[in-house]
Structure 1
């Protein structure tokens, strides 16, 4: 493979690298000569960024070893530059799933597995500027961007390989559409009236007080948005109403679930608790008994997940909603 990266087009890059349909095509409009060009931070700056973004040492080392080079890898540099431009073009814009962030082919090696990480690092100053426009504090901005370190660590533990297979949530974080406010994270949906809610892996309990503080802060932030936000939504396996059969009503998960109502959009998702609780990736329709027998049973939640699957049950992602309270009623969170 050879050539000057800016002379390449989407079709040629797709042919040379063997991209799946939609990945490179989505980047085509921001390709070609003209427009901003990506400038990668130095190793020293990357080291400081990794510390701020919670990127573990092993992931930092693999990232630096996979620094892309425009002359050595012109096709990958074309993808990197277009990815950077796409992040800038979509800054602050609510969008749905984007095939541009699908997995890169295995033949792109470690550079390919880290390519999007370099795009995210390059755009950090721009997304932090955007955070300031919607009223996020400096600490909230950095805490939001720590999602990169968390996803790198999770991907490595799930796959045994450094880097990212694919990424759907991080482009929203690095365009300012997704952000963390205390215990909870939020995401501006591509339809009006809803702010999606996520529960990041906990460095602290999912307590009522912590969740109240996050929702109250989110109400303040959405006042800066041009669209009117009328409700919080949460689409997650944590919204599966079957959990009430196994967990005590006093558990933090059940307390969190009871904040929501109007549960809908029931989608089979056995993979979700396996990934988020046990850090096991399994996408087949039925989880085999041998795998279930290997899973730990240390907590009530772990026992609930495994017991339900062994009984032939399925776990589901469901969507619950909470209406935004009036300013005088903040802290009083009732289902929609």
Structure 2
């Protein structure tokens, strides 16, 4: 409700804001032109300058809403159910809420995932979300993918039901069904996240949903330091500078095993890392 009210109050006007209206029109046309496609290396959509105010922070939301009928039509052509289509588009509200928690302001922060959702190449299927477009995995891809083969990039949306084996199995099976008619041959799933950090095994029981999910994948990429990731995704907090401030760690809740693990590891001078994991469709 709060994000809806702020959005309606920030509706752009072609007469009063001609420059922003031009940006909105270009964004709308770009989304339509890229429907069902993703060009490798597409950048994130950065927020507009602060001096564009609330209208600027909501401008891309209006562009995404304007293409909803076209995305829904595309979803129907690739065989998504009505429920799967709306589940996918619900990412807009989720990202608005996350942006508000992270920045304290209404509107969108930088967004990388929403342009994929609203061009149809990113979709949610039950507990997990995927990107259909072939993924450049990295140096190890030479050993994993042949010409004409691709991997679906996997995401774990925040919230929702637990990350159980049954829910994940259902999502992976459905993803294989959705991409079956397309030209690329999907032979595996890739997942780039701090949830691939093997250090989690030092803190979480082997029976936990996170560890069970992690064990689906084989790791092959280099580790990338990502202390920001668990702070943003678990605690919805950001920080300035290269090091997590001790004062921020003191403010974080310690209600769950995962929350305690994140904080104690950082307090002890450790770092969290993102890594890319992979598993083949045959191994699923």
The correspondence for 2:110, drawn from 157, 166, 170, is: 166
| Length-normalised TM-score, structure 2 | 0.93
Is 1:132 paired with 2:76?
yes
* Residue equivalent to 1:311: 268
* Residue equivalent to 1:90: 34
Secondary structure at the residue paired with 1:264? coil
CA distance in 2, matches of 1:184, 1:164: 23
The correspondence for 2:259, drawn from 287, 290, 302, is: 302
How many residue pairs match? The answer is: 271
Runs of at least 5 residues in structure 1 that lack an aligned partner in the other structure: 1-56, 326-331
Structure 1 residue 99, shift from structure 2 partner? 4.1
* Residue equivalent to 1:49: none
* Residue equivalent to 2:86: 142
CA distance in 1, matches of 2:213, 2:46: 32
Alignment RMSD: 1.3
| Length-normalised TM-score, structure 1 | 0.78
* Residue equivalent to 1:41: none
- Asked if structure 2 preserves the Cα contact closer than 8 Å seen for 1:97 and 1:168, the reply is no
1:95-134 alignment runs, 5 A limit: 95-99=39-43, 101-134=45-78
Is 1:225 paired with 2:169?
no
The correspondence for 1:206, drawn from 154, 159, 163, is: 163
Give a deviation string over 1:161-189, Cα, whole Å, max 9, x none: 00012211100000001000000000124
- Asked if structure 2 preserves the Cα contact closer than 8 Å seen for 1:135 and 1:224, the reply is no
Quick check: which has more Rg, 1 or 2? 1
The correspondence for 2:217, drawn from 260, 263, 267, is: 260
* Residue equivalent to 1:272: 229
- Asked if structure 2 preserves the Cα contact closer than 8 Å seen for 1:188 and 1:195, the reply is yes
Structure 1 residue 288, shift from structure 2 partner? 1.1
Runs of 4+ in structure 1 deviating by more than 3 angstroms, as ranges, are 96-100, 189-192
Rate the CA distance shift 1:283–1:227 in 2: closer, same or farther, 3 A: farther
